[in-house]
Amino acid sequence: MVKIPAFVALDLETTGLDFEKDEIIEVALVRFENGEPKENLDFLVKPSAVELRPFIETLTGISKADLESASDFATIAGQICSFVGDLPIVAHNAVFDSKFLKQTFTKVGISYDSHVFWDSLTLSRIAFQDVPNHRLDTLVQELNIERSRAHRALPDADACGRLFVKALEKISTMDPWIYDALSQVAKGSGYETLFTSKVEKLSPPKYKLPTAPALEALPKSKAPRVSEFFKEGGFISFVVDDYKPRHNQQDFASVMERNMYKGGLCVLEAPTGSGKTLSYLITAANKAITGERVLISTATRTLQEQLWTEAIPQIAKIYNGELRPAILKGRDNYLCLRKFEELLMHPQTLLSAEERDSFMALIPWVLSTETGDINECNSFSQSRNRVLWSKLSCSASCCNGENHSHHENCPALIAKRKAMNANMVLVNHSLFLSDLQLDFALLPSYEHIVFDEAHRLPEISNQVFGRSISFFGFRNIAKTLEPSKAGGDGLIAEIASRIPAEKPELHEICDKLSEALGEAEKALHRFFMKIGKKLAKQKNGRSGFTYTNSILAEYEADPATFLEQYNNARGFAEKLVAATANMDGLKGIVSDLDSRMTEISHFISDFEFVTKAGRNDWVFYMEEPFNPHTIKLHALPLHSGNVWREKFYPWIKSATFTSATLSVQADLTYFLQKMGMDNLRLGKQPFVRVYTEQSDVNERRSVMVAKFLPKPSAPEFGDALNDTLLKVLPNVEENTMVLFTSVATMMKAQAALAPAFAERNKLLLCQHVDGSLDGLVAMFRKERGACLLGCQSLWEGVDFPGDALKLLVITKLPFPNPSDPLVAGLTNEMKAANKNFFKDYFIPEAYIELRQGMGRLLRSDSDSGKVLILDNRVVLERYGKTFARIWNFKNRIAGSVSDIERFVK
Ligand SMILES: Nc1ncnc2c1ncn2[C@@H]1O[C@H](COP(=O)(O)OP(=O)(O)OP(=O)(O)O)[C@@H](O)[C@H]1O
């Protein structure tokens, strides 16, 4: 058993999250020796102004009166110092506690900056790779750690210490290579004294990854017609329990089968739970085994995973091995083994201190993964570690070389070869669209494609075809080459350190490259600052600001200097790559430099396009999220359907588009327009069909519309909404989800509701506040009587079957936001063409989105639930009828809060 060093576990309660403004109100310390808690110290701390938000008061149980009588930090600082002594401090998410503590010590004139902090979060990510998330609350439950009361400092500090011990014990039982690798990465960091392997030279990891399969011909077989599958006692009944033929499901499959045989486009709307996944998978599989490759594309990677692990294995059993499915994600989802080893061997130059913490969590995963797909690693968040992951992921230029040492077990190559040997390949819309944009360079060739959740295609097309630039877009690439002005680390420094001293001319090129990149970065910074400063004066709090090509000149923002400096840098990089590519010990790392320069050249191409703003059919806009440094310039096509029309429809043999929400009142025209499928020439027009619900959903879903609230456009709506939510929601005993159309409104509701939920000890979860979306969804599904507040992504794509969701609250009709530049661009275009943008654009969009939102409630024939709509325009405005048709006008009206209270009981 590992020897656990002595340490002090710490937890702080504070008045808020901002270490510069907020203050510590409780400090708890527990000294651990030999893995056991030995002694503790717990102080309430009187802040300079005793103002406690009710939420903090309820969460922590600390009252204003408690604090009034407490000592201030200056009085207790000495006791803290002597209790801790030289022992390392352990905290969960230690960055937070260490910043607060160091700042507070500084205020009382004590320097605490060099004290060593260890993070139980970092250790838990290394040790426990299978837990749903790494929040202290979750870990306490998952690992059966005793804790008397959550969100008080002393029990939390104690739990954090016990977690830390458990994590260390677990690490000591893992493959010894992991400990050696952790020691290697920890050298020179605070963890150096924790991971103390004596191994001089770390051996390369022993991967479980297979070698890439050789290419094989696809089987050519013949399948019976789909009617044989879907009939009473047909093949499906062998794999689906309680299979019962459904007329619409059979029709869906037959229509699709005909379309695949004949060739062409086909758009089929079928309700949620009607069995369309089964229909299209069987029809697609029947075609696939004849030797014509079929792609299945889903809206998100999560849905892709769901099909891959559930529906596809289920139907594959019918085909006796002839159906060869494969899953493929974008190349940047896969780990590059060579880059991983490079960073592992040189963490001090190639990784920042924070990156090293996150990198450690990857070490056990790298040994166990059989796919190298980062999405399977629960201990690593790609979105929180964008720059680090860009240093580790496969990219077009890094993995091509056959002489690359890991060529045969490169995860991206394995995934691609498997896809090439498969007759059914599961992709996602983003990957499909990137392939389309790159003229089919990414995916294996295919004859047929099925798009599930096809209603998401217009929006995802815009994201993929759109182009964006920001200072940090450049900086994040450049800093992997040249991280700091002081120099000494980064790829260029690493290359320089491996070039022999007798080649001074190459050292000089390295210096010049660093310098030119630095100059380019400065010029780009000046460019964005010029825009940012002007923009701050003009935009008056608007979230997006459209511009034309003359505006940059007006702002005196000149793109030319940046481009000149970039060209200098590119020249030096090319010289360096040419001179060093074949030198011993440099090959891999020089190809990384090359691939970074390729990424920069993509940035330059976007930069030129976006700053020129030269297309009338695109909208160009600026976004300044926080301050001038973070300004972004975007370009979005107004009609991404044109790309589909030009690049895709003419050559595809068959494409099926399906979803539960494509139509507006059973009419698919709006979807066809957006996808560029209207006005296709005769013979090329899509076959369309809308299937209706077979059972009456209105029998299982009751709807109430509140008439008494102010209209959403009225200034008093926000307060009235929160007031109603506060009166109703804390008393609801079943799971409730509240959908908002703006993050700001949702946050206000969260602040209003939190104390009442905390008081009743009920779970309130809020998107953007309480962790990752996946974590929120998982927690909400498990709990009963909980309330989930969400916007954007929670309107669609999440499943809450049965009791997981019983009451759905729609706060506002989900109309497009008129200040969104794309919406404004389309609106202006329609106005100029004398079209009714409200009727032809706003209403269809809101109608589809509302159906999506309501679709969260009933996920199967046996589901039932209630929908509460707090937007009275549904009953007061003429257009409200369009929306009320969704529930066939079968709604009750609430004239007061008490009507709602009776409804939700
Ligand atoms: N005819 C059937 N008889 C019995 N069960 C079925 C039938 N068709 C599908 N199912 C089952 O019903 C569930 C939902 O089916 P499926 O996922 O195909 O529906 P869907 O329309 O794609 O739903 P969603 O819109 O939620 O994706 C699955 O568990 C499936 O196995």
**pLDDT (mean) for 595-615:** 93
Q: How confident is the model at residue 438 (pLDDT cuts 50, 70, 90)?
A: confident
CA–centroid distance, 344 to ligand 1, in Å, is 46
Least confident of 55-69, 647-661, 791-805, 823-837: 55-69
What CATH number does the domain containing 900 carry? 3.40.50.300
CA–centroid distance, 481 to ligand 1, in Å, is 50
Report which protein residue has its CA nearest ligand 1's atom 10: 275
Closest CA to 170 of 2, 37, 358: 2
Report which protein residue has its CA nearest ligand 1's atom 30: 275
Q: Are residues 567 and 476 part of one domain?
A: yes
Q: Six-digit token pair at 388?
A: 């680090």
Structural domain includes residue 2 = no
Pocket probe mutation, ligand 1, options 277, 453, 798, max atoms within 8 Å of Cβ: 277
Pocket of ligand 1 (CB under 6 A): 240, 242-244, 246, 249, 270, 272-278, 660
Range of the domain at 820: 701-904
Report which protein residue has its CA nearest ligand 1's atom 31: 240
Q: Are residues 646 and 626 part of one domain?
A: no
Are 845 and 903 within 8 A, CB to CB?
no
Structural domain includes residue 350 = yes
Judged against a pLDDT cut of 90, whether residue 409 lies above it is answered with: no
Q: Are residues 48 and 122 part of one domain?
A: yes
Point out the ligand 1 atom lying closest to the alpha carbon of residue 659: 25
Judged against a pLDDT cut of 70, whether residue 806 lies above it is answered with: yes
Structural domain includes residue 161 = yes
Structural domain includes residue 215 = no
The amino acid sitting at 68 is: E
Are 511 and 497 within 8 A, CB to CB?
no
CA–centroid distance, 231 to ligand 1, in Å, is 15
Q: Are residues 343 and 272 part of one domain?
A: no
SS3 334: strand
For residue range 44-74, what is the model confidence (pLDDT) as tens digits? 999 887 566 655 565 567 777 788 888 999 9
Judged against a pLDDT cut of 60, whether residue 298 lies above it is answered with: yes
pLDDT score recorded for residue 772: 72
Q: Are residues 579 and 520 part of one domain?
A: yes
Please name every residue paired with 294 in a beta bridge, in sequence order, or none if there are none. 424, 448
In percent, how much of the chain has pLDDT > 90?
66
Report which protein residue has its CA nearest ligand 1's atom 19: 275
Q: How confident is the model at residue 160 (pLDDT cuts 50, 70, 90)?
A: very high
Q: Are residues 451 and 322 part of one domain?
A: yes
Report which protein residue has its CA nearest ligand 1's atom 18: 275
For residue range 10-29, what is the model confidence (pLDDT) as tens digits? 999 888 778 888 889 999 99
Point out the ligand 1 atom lying closest to the alpha carbon of residue 244: 3
Q: How confident is the model at residue 701 (pLDDT cuts 50, 70, 90)?
A: very high
Report which protein residue has its CA nearest ligand 1's atom 12: 275
Pocket probe mutation, ligand 1, options 231, 237, 238, 240, max atoms within 8 Å of Cβ: 240
pLDDT score recorded for residue 584: 82
CA–centroid distance, 857 to ligand 1, in Å, is 16
With residue 173 as reference, give the H or E element that holds it: helix 153-173
Question: 89 CB contacts (<8 Å, ≥6 apart)?
Answer: 7, 8, 9, 10, 97, 98, 101, 115, 116, 117, 118
Structural domains in the chain (count): 5
pLDDT score recorded for residue 348: 87
pLDDT score recorded for residue 156: 92
Structural domain includes residue 733 = yes
For residue range 388-408, what is the model confidence (pLDDT) as tens digits? 999 999 987 666 555 566 778
Least confident of 248-257, 440-449, 514-523, 791-800: 791-800
Question: 793 CB contacts (<8 Å, ≥6 apart)?
Answer: 767, 773
CA–centroid distance, 543 to ligand 1, in Å, is 41
**CB-count burial class (<10 Å; 0-12, 13-18, 19+) for 651:** exposed
Q: How confident is the model at residue 683 (pLDDT cuts 50, 70, 90)?
A: confident
CA–centroid distance, 737 to ligand 1, in Å, is 24
CA–centroid distance, 312 to ligand 1, in Å, is 13
**pLDDT (mean) for 329-340:** 91
Judged against a pLDDT cut of 80, whether residue 726 lies above it is answered with: yes
Are 314 and 468 within 8 A, CB to CB?
no
Report which protein residue has its CA nearest ligand 1's atom 9: 275
User: Of 668, 690, 712, which residue is a domain's last?
Assistant: 690
CA–centroid distance, 241 to ligand 1, in Å, is 11
CA–centroid distance, 277 to ligand 1, in Å, is 6
Q: In this predicted model, which residue has the larger pLDDT, 787 or 18? A: 787
Structural domain includes residue 105 = yes
Point out the ligand 1 atom lying closest to the alpha carbon of residue 660: 25
Torsion over CA: 171, 172, 177, 181 (sign): positive
Q: Are residues 349 and 316 part of one domain?
A: no
Q: Six-digit token pair at 601?
A: 């050249």
**pLDDT (mean) for 662-685:** 93
Are 559 and 607 within 8 A, CB to CB?
yes
Point out the ligand 1 atom lying closest to the alpha carbon of residue 279: 18
CA–centroid distance, 269 to ligand 1, in Å, is 14
CA–centroid distance, 539 to ligand 1, in Å, is 49
Report which protein residue has its CA nearest ligand 1's atom 4: 243
Point out the ligand 1 atom lying closest to the alpha carbon of residue 230: 1
Point out the ligand 1 atom lying closest to the alpha carbon of residue 272: 25
Point out the ligand 1 atom lying closest to the alpha carbon of residue 799: 26
Q: Are residues 182 and 77 part of one domain?
A: no
Are 159 and 168 within 8 A, CB to CB?
no
Report which protein residue has its CA nearest ligand 1's atom 28: 275
CA–centroid distance, 272 to ligand 1, in Å, is 8
**pLDDT (mean) for 149-154:** 75
pLDDT score recorded for residue 51: 66
CA–centroid distance, 878 to ligand 1, in Å, is 37
Are 269 and 659 within 8 A, CB to CB?
yes
CA distances from 281 to 224, 427, 478 (A): 15, 14, 44
Point out the ligand 1 atom lying closest to the alpha carbon of residue 240: 31
Structural domain includes residue 213 = no
Distance CA 307, CA 431 (A): 16
Judged against a pLDDT cut of 70, whether residue 530 lies above it is answered with: yes
Are 319 and 285 within 8 A, CB to CB?
yes
CA–centroid distance, 310 to ligand 1, in Å, is 12
Point out the ligand 1 atom lying closest to the alpha carbon of residue 270: 21
SS3 508: helix
CA–centroid distance, 608 to ligand 1, in Å, is 48
Judged against a pLDDT cut of 60, whether residue 548 lies above it is answered with: yes
Least confident of 338-342, 564-568, 856-860: 856-860
Q: Are residues 645 and 612 part of one domain?
A: no
Structural domain includes residue 696 = no
**pLDDT (mean) for 860-881:** 93
pLDDT score recorded for residue 64: 76
pLDDT score recorded for residue 540: 55
Least confident of 149-158, 622-631, 763-772, 881-890: 622-631
Q: What is the chain's mean pLDDT, rounded? A: 90
Closest CA to 489 of 347, 340, 342, 339: 347
Q: Are residues 770 and 750 part of one domain?
A: yes
Are 693 and 880 within 8 A, CB to CB?
no
pLDDT score recorded for residue 395: 81
Pocket probe mutation, ligand 1, options 247, 250, 278, max atoms within 8 Å of Cβ: 278
Judged against a pLDDT cut of 60, whether residue 98 lies above it is answered with: yes
CA–centroid distance, 376 to ligand 1, in Å, is 26
What CATH number does the domain containing 139 carry? 3.30.420.10
Q: How confident is the model at residue 315 (pLDDT cuts 50, 70, 90)?
A: very high
Q: How confident is the model at residue 759 (pLDDT cuts 50, 70, 90)?
A: confident
Q: Are residues 323 and 339 part of one domain?
A: no
Point out the ligand 1 atom lying closest to the alpha carbon of residue 281: 18
Q: How confident is the model at residue 886 (pLDDT cuts 50, 70, 90)?
A: very high
CA–centroid distance, 687 to ligand 1, in Å, is 23
pLDDT score recorded for residue 237: 93
Q: Are residues 196 and 87 part of one domain?
A: no
Q: How confident is the model at residue 113 (pLDDT cuts 50, 70, 90)?
A: confident
Are 855 and 661 within 8 A, CB to CB?
yes
For residue range 353-378, what is the model confidence (pLDDT) as tens digits? 889 999 999 999 999 999 999 988 98
Report which protein residue has its CA nearest ligand 1's atom 25: 272
In percent, how much of the chain has pLDDT > 70?
95
The bridge status of strand 865-869 relative to strand 807-810 is parallel
